[in-house]
Amino acid sequence: DYELCEEWGYLYPVPREDLINLHREHLLHLLEMGDMEKALQLLQRIEDPGICLAISEQSLDQHPNLAASHFLADYLTAHFYANLTTARRNEIQALYMGSKVLLTLPELSRVNYFHLSSRPLLMLEQLLMNMKVDWVAVTVQTLHQLLAGQEIGFTVEDIDNLLSKYAEKALNFPFALKEKRS
């Protein structure tokens, strides 16, 4: 049905908003089905870059599944980086990094941290509080790789400070040890 509507749009004038809505719904459908290749082909078929940007941003704002969010954040960063405001750029890059970190976690646990996908530093803190040390190690390694040369509102130093804070708390004893006297 989406393809038929798209063909109809080539033959008859369709209002811009209706065209954006059609392509957005088609894109979200393809992403939900896991067909990233067809989703990319759909975006490449759209000739007007303004419409393509609107479709991609609106689709991302619909909070699709993890793989779709990762795909859209990557696509927007790769193709429309210069067209985005600094705040929006940081938001999309944080979502990209958060989704990348989530993809490194065990599949059954991802749902517990999905709500933090746009806040990777907070996700790291949550993993630390839940004492998921192995996951923290992978998360820190992934974030270090992704942060190289990036500026998204937090730095490698922020990660190190967070780790230091929780390491200090782990060594903090709430009581004083008594000395034995002979």
Contacts for 154 with CB less than 8 Å, ≥ 6 apart: 120, 121
112-154 pLDDT, tens digit each: 988 888 898 899 999 988 888 889 889 898 888 888 766 677 7
Judge contact between 100 and 146, C-beta under 8 A.
yes
Q: Hey, where are the domains in the chain?
A: 1-84, 88-171
Q: Which two tokens stand for residue 9?
A: 């749009």
- pLDDT score recorded for residue 73: 92
The single-letter DSSP state of residue 112 is H
Which long-range CB contacts under 8 A does 82-90 form with residues at least 24 apart? 83/49, 83/53, 89/152, 90/151, 90/152, 90/153
62-100 pLDDT, tens digit each: 888 888 999 999 999 889 988 888 888 888 888 889 899
Q: Rounded to an integer, what distance in angstroms lies between the CA atom of residue 131 and that of residue 125?
A: 10
Our measurement of the distance from residue 125's CA atom to the centroid of its chain's CA atoms, rounded to an integer in Å, reads 17
